Amino acid sequence: MEQNKVRTYIFYAIGEILLVVIGILIALQVNNWNEQSKLDTKFKSTIEKVYNDLLLEEAIIKYRLDYFGEQISMMDTLLSSPDYYRREELPGRLLFVDLPRTPSGLAPQNAEFNMSLLDYSELNVEQSKLANKIFNYGLTASNQFNVDPGILETPIEDLMISYNIPTPPLSPALNDYQSDVYRAHFTNSHFDRAYQLLNSNELKTTLTTQRVMRIGALVGLTNARDENISLRNAIRDYFPDVSFIHQDIGIVGSALPAGWEPANKLSLTADPDDGFIFQGIFSFEDGEIKFVANDTWVANWGATPAGDRSLAANGQNISVGEGTYRVVVNFDTNRYSITPFEDE
């Protein structure tokens, strides 16, 4: 009888111990699930910021690609067909191709910061794979921007000074050097000296050297853009619902009564099915516009030098004519469209 009681107590004690152990294991598992859920949420939040940084970076890269492309094309014309441009155009064009535009430091500091915050579970194969891709991008993309430091120099401007040709400041905007206001800085004698300089061996050598540097920068930027797109696609595959962090997008400019003040912008409406697309119908006067976010100039977008409806971060003003237009901006593809509303 006593033995049966002892045996019963032992079984009971073992059962209690097993229940406690099982309870602890369940609690640990639940805690692990909770911690993993928090880690997943944090991981998605961080890669969403990285994704948005990459969008901005691509818009900057696009602007630089078009800019260097325009410079190279103009250099080719100056070298192969010295008489192609009118003499009154030469000073402005020579200064334009000489403008230094470094591709270094393009990656926004925010991107590097968000990459450093990337916390993930090494047991999660997908997270580990994506995290490694992000880290590798941070390393390789910066290498694409290591170009000849000579690209920052202005040797053509120095030659113009030696020929007693004025070198007034020139904006990167492509139309500035063609404007009558800019040409007013020069006289006929300056145009003649610019033509003499154009046909000199020293300028031809300088143009050739600068052209090679810009081609090198163009190759690096093209590779960086391709890697940027590849990484964004990988983030999209892992996190299809990644969203655009800027939700207060609007238009400012001389084509609007409110002018250039971001706080007075005309707001665009977010597409309910795609948070990267914003649109609206607006009436413009003859003038220029840009897109801004959050009532400041911190995040703003304009046109690229190529004028192909690509968005460029801190890009050029977009010219519009008088009329009513439907404006659509897609920040995922970095494209915009402005079409007459009457045509719809």
> Of 214, 238, 262, which marks where a domain is finished?
238
Please tell me whether residues 138 and 255 are part of one structural domain.
Answer: no
pTM: 0.75
Q: 259 with 231, same domain?
A: no
Number of domains into which the chain is organized: 2
What is the residue type of 261? Answer: E
pLDDT of amino acid 104: 42
The predicted structure's pLDDT at residue 85: 93
Domain boundary among 203, 218, 238: 238
The span from the CA of 276 to the CA of 243, in Å, is 7
DSSP 279-339: EEEEEE-SEEEEEEETTEEEEEEEE-TT-SSBEEET-BPEEE-SEEEEEEEETTTTEEEEE
CA separation for the pair 310, 251 (Å, rounded): 16
pLDDT of residue 217: 86
- Nearest C-alpha neighbor of 164 from the set 200, 194, 199: 194
CA distance 234 to 244: 16
The torsion angles phi and psi of 172, rounded to 5 degrees, stand at: -65, -15
Closest by CA position to 331, among listed 64, 108, 52: 52
Per the CB < 8 A criterion, the answer to whether 250 and 266 are in contact is yes
What gap in Å lies between CA 227 and CA 145, rounded to an integer?
13
Q: What is the pLDDT of residue 193?
A: 96
* Residue 87 in domain: yes
In a domain, 29, yes or no: no
Give a yes or no: residue 24 inside a domain. Answer: no
Q: Are residues 191 and 56 in the same domain?
A: yes
Quick check: is 79 in a domain? yes
Quick one: DSSP state of residue 176? G
3-state secondary structure of 7: helix
Q: Give the Cα separation of 71 and 218 in Å (integer).
A: 11
| Whether residue 306 sits in one domain with residue 188 | no
| CATH code (residue 316) | 2.60.40.3620
Q: Are residues 291 and 317 in the same domain?
A: yes
Q: Which of 238, 257, 273 is the last residue of a domain?
A: 238
- CA 276 to chain CA mean position, Å: 15
- Residue 139: what pLDDT? 73
Same domain, 227 and 280: no
- Do residues 78 and 227 share a domain? yes
Q: How many other CB atoms sit within 10 Å of the CB of residue 89?
A: 16
Distance from C-alpha of 124 to C-alpha of 335, rounded to nearest angstrom = 35
Residues 207 and 338 grouped into a single domain: no
pLDDT by residue, tens only, the chain of 344 residues: 555 555 666 666 666 676 666 666 666 555 555 555 677 788 888 888 889 888 888 888 888 888 889 899 999 999 999 999 999 999 999 999 988 765 444 444 455 545 566 777 777 888 888 988 888 887 776 665 555 666 778 899 999 999 999 998 876 554 567 777 788 889 999 999 999 999 999 999 999 999 998 998 888 889 888 999 999 999 999 999 888 888 899 999 999 998 999 999 999 999 988 989 999 999 999 999 999 998 888 889 999 877 789 998 888 899 999 999 999 999 999 999 999 987 55
Q: Are residues 85 and 180 part of one domain?
A: yes
Residue 243: its pLDDT value, please? 87
58 and 170 co-located in one domain: yes
Please indicate, yes or no, whether residues 209 and 309 belong to a single structural domain of this protein. no
Residue 8 in domain = no
Tell me the residue range of the domain where 300 lies.
249-343
Please indicate, yes or no, whether residues 202 and 321 belong to a single structural domain of this protein: no
- In the prediction, which pLDDT does 143 show? 63
